[in-house]
């Protein structure tokens, strides 16, 4: 069983970045829920937990402790960027293990490909959730909430689904996840009797 801890950034009294009618805490929770749904519905041998499942505040060290105490195999923290840029980037800890670097090298391009986003690069940072987790961990910054075009994309559920699916495909390849047999992908149109596309 592969144990994946999803960490939707911010929450509760900490909204994260706010701009263009959006709050980071809401977007991170939505994307994390989508990742969990895809993993649980389409893959076998994977257990998913989230550091928060509602709009609640959990401090950074507690998020890491939850993953450590559970014995997670991988920790994925979801964030939305701000500060005037555009695009998508991923972070590992500055002193990350070679396995973490390898996972970042696999997961990063899958999100870029799935969501067709500008690649801001694979980076390293001394973030608490990356420093204090005992397992390989990544933090992704999913577009810029204060960039008009990025925000417009983030408002689209179909785009958030692409971001989620890119993360999942990356996790599948990095962690060797197995798809359930006979997984049926929903088509782009509802099946309406008597219609022909």
As annotated, the active-site residues are: 141
Residues 72 and 7 sit within 8 Å (Cβ to Cβ): no
Sheet holding 46-50, edge to edge: 46-50, 2-8, 74-81, 137-144, 88-93, 119-125
Tokens 């060797």 -> residue: 176
- State how far the Cα of 149 lies from the Cα of 181, in Å rounded to an integer: 38
Q: Given phi > 0 = left and psi -120 to 50 = alpha, else beta, which region is 147?
A: beta
DSSP letters of 150-191? HHHHHT-HHHHHHHHHHHHHHHHHHHT-EEPTTPPPPPSS--
Give me the residues paired with residue 78 across strands: 8, 140
């Amino acid at each position: 069983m592969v144990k994946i801890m999803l960490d939707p950034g911010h929450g509760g009294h900490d909204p994260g970045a706010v701009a263009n009618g959006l709050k980071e805490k809401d977007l991170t929770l939505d994307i994390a829920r989508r990742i969990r749904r895809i993993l649980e519905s389409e893959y076998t041998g994977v257990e998913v937990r989230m550091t928060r499942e509602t709009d609640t505040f959990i401090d950074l060290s507690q998020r890491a402790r939850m993953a450590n105490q559970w014995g997670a195999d991988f920790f994925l923290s979801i964030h939305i960027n701000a500060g005037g840029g555009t695009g998508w980037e991923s972070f590992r800890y500055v002193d990350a293990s070679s396995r973490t670097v390898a996972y970042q090298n696999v997961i990063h391009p899958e999100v870029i490909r799935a969501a067709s986003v500008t690649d801001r690069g694979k980076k390293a940072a001394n973030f608490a959730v990356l420093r204090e987790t005992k397992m390989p961990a990544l933090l992704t910054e999913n577009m810029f909430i204060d960039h008009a075009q990025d925000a417009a994309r983030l408002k689209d559920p179909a785009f958030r689904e692409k971001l989620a699916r890119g993360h999942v495909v990356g996790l599948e390849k990095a962690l060797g996840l197995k798809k359930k047999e006979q997984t049926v992908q929903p088509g782009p149109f509802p099946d309406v009797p008597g219609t022909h596309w």
